[in-house]
Structure 1
Amino acid sequence: MEFFNLKVFRYDPTKDSQPYYKTYRLPVEKGMTVLAALFKAKEDQDPSISFRYNCRAAICGSCAMRINGHATLACKVQVTHLLEKYKTDTLVVEPVGNIKLLKDLIYDMDWVVDKMKRIKPWFIPKEQPPADGKEYRQDPFDHQKIDYASDCILCNSCMSDCNALKANKDFLGPMVISKAYRFIADSRDGAKRERLEEVLKEFNLEWCVRCMECTTRCPKEVQPYENIIRTRIIAAEEGFKSPGEIHAEIFEKDIYNRGLLNEMLLPMRQEGILGAAKRAPFGLRMFFKGKVNIADFFGGHKVKRHEEVQKIMDKAKQMKDKVKIKIIPDVQTVYEDKRKSKKAKVQE
């Protein structure tokens, strides 16, 4: 292939009533990145194209945009690789999603800056600096917990493709919660509970729908989704009663008492009478569809061999203090981690 089409999203609010796309035909050059292709189109064909860039080395995060529907860094991905990946001669370049558009590929950063301010993304020491004047020391194992999260360059790629953020603009989003986790899990930081209280407001940790798009799209292998889960675990360990924690406790009690979850009474037990009232219309629709077991309103039935379930749970509780489970930093990684060979293995 000698040439390819670069289809660029265009919008100038000073003169355009609606966004549109403009296509530029460019030569295929070995090693050319999408950012370089944008520069070539701007320099040779249309100087009015607007986009952000800075380092051109996948460090600053300025050139994040959607390419053929997925967020990434334009300076990191090469044209030839993408043409081969998508089996096409056209690359569609658009601004990242879930944002307020300013012009062409440039978007307003205030929305995410305001979210970031809420979690105070800076180090707040819990003790005075070491007497010898050296840096705050940290055990290698403790550092391993925040190693991946520390690599976030605030590019918004994960925010762009977050389905929960698309449905609820008030959701903090994976990048913000992941950045909060970086400090919450830092053994040297003294504002753990303050940050946990902030990310637990407005059910932020519950809004994640576990689609894992944030981790899939992250260009720096920060693992935003996994960091959300780790934050939930820390919140539970610190004694915070989030809806998820309450749900888990109810689930445990139901399994012990009858062997299965009583979903009919779950809303009232988890959210109270007002919470259950909000869900009443949905419950009525379930009733008329034949998906409601009336017996569940009166406690329901027990599963067969229920006593065996109780024995297993009793044994598990007895072993609780003897079994120590740790979630290592790279749990549930959905991509090939090229840094594994460079990282020291977690040692107890």
Structure 2
Amino acid sequence: MALLSGARALASLDNPAARQAFAEGVQLVEHLPLRTHSLGHVLNDAVRYGALVDPVAAIALFRRLQSDYPRHPGHIAGTMLVQSLAQGGEINAALELLEDPACDTRGAGIILHLTPDPALQRRAMVAARDRWRRLRQDPESVGGFQRHEFPQLFSQHRQVLDAKEQAAWLDELLQAIEYDPDQETNSGFGENVRFHSTRDTHLFQILGVLRALKPPEEVDAILRRYPEVAAAAQIYPLGLESLMSLRPPAGTAGGGRIGSGSGSGFGSRDRRLPGPSTVPELLEEARRLHREDIDPGDPNLAPHVFWPSCHAYKLALYWAGRHSGMDAEPLLDQVPDIDFAILAAIEFAAGVLGLPEPFGVRMEHHPKRHG
């Protein structure tokens, strides 16, 4: 894992060295004595590192994992790949991943944002719509956050479609809202609107399109069936479109809400970006987790580099480097484990360089807890 983490930091300085470190890291990971499910988690994490280091190799690994671990959730790694490819100008390669039904990924939105080409934008929208259709037909996808990308994309980017397509796609979305199984969610919009139903959430997301394409009496009839959305429409008449037209309050760029989530647990609580003052709290949380991991009465028997405390130290040192630069280097002395210290030092460097926040697999195996 140190090789994979190091490859991420090296990517901004020396691409050949980063690619070599990534290749060696993947080779080592594949020989770890882990159960199949755990190995799938770790290799998907490797794809996420590779998205930043060597997208071509990461694509090959990701496609292989989709075949070898067909029921292993890989959409986060796949989405990072799509984003990395699109940001690197490889729009067609990103679209090919999105269009491949065998690949578990999202990311149409980043393509729509980055390319000015109407034909490529339409391909991204069609790929998102087709993936949404497949997920609607897959009973095992119910509750998955992934299936809920499409309504928001349609609301924001319907202009890439012609008028007939817009009308047809809206009708299909309305039918899905009406007849697909509802799911519990916890979705927040603005300061005063919160929904606990995916039907309400999706209707609010497309409310602006609904008002643009349907006669007022039909819109009113629909809103009468969804009183929570009707109440929200008193604040935001065009739903998500009204929110998108508002400027964010001054001073919130560094600490706004990152997301809200569905019943799957993804982002189920509002999350704030750590500021400089939170680094001591992150370190204290890492120390607490480490005490649990080394508890002599019930130790964590998972490999050390996957301990929750290891990830917590990596995260704390990343944000220390991000906010304070090299002035925070003495904090590395607070990391109690030499393996952790190596990984934390890499993430500290990544923070100093301004690379994205670290991610990683966390594993726990406490015999007394799990039997």
Q: TM-score, normalised by structure 2?
A: 0.27
Tell which has more relative contact order, 1 or 2 (C-alpha 8 A, sep 6+).
Answer: 1
Which structure is higher in strand share? 1
Rg larger in 1 or in 2? 1
Q: TM-score, normalised by structure 1?
A: 0.29
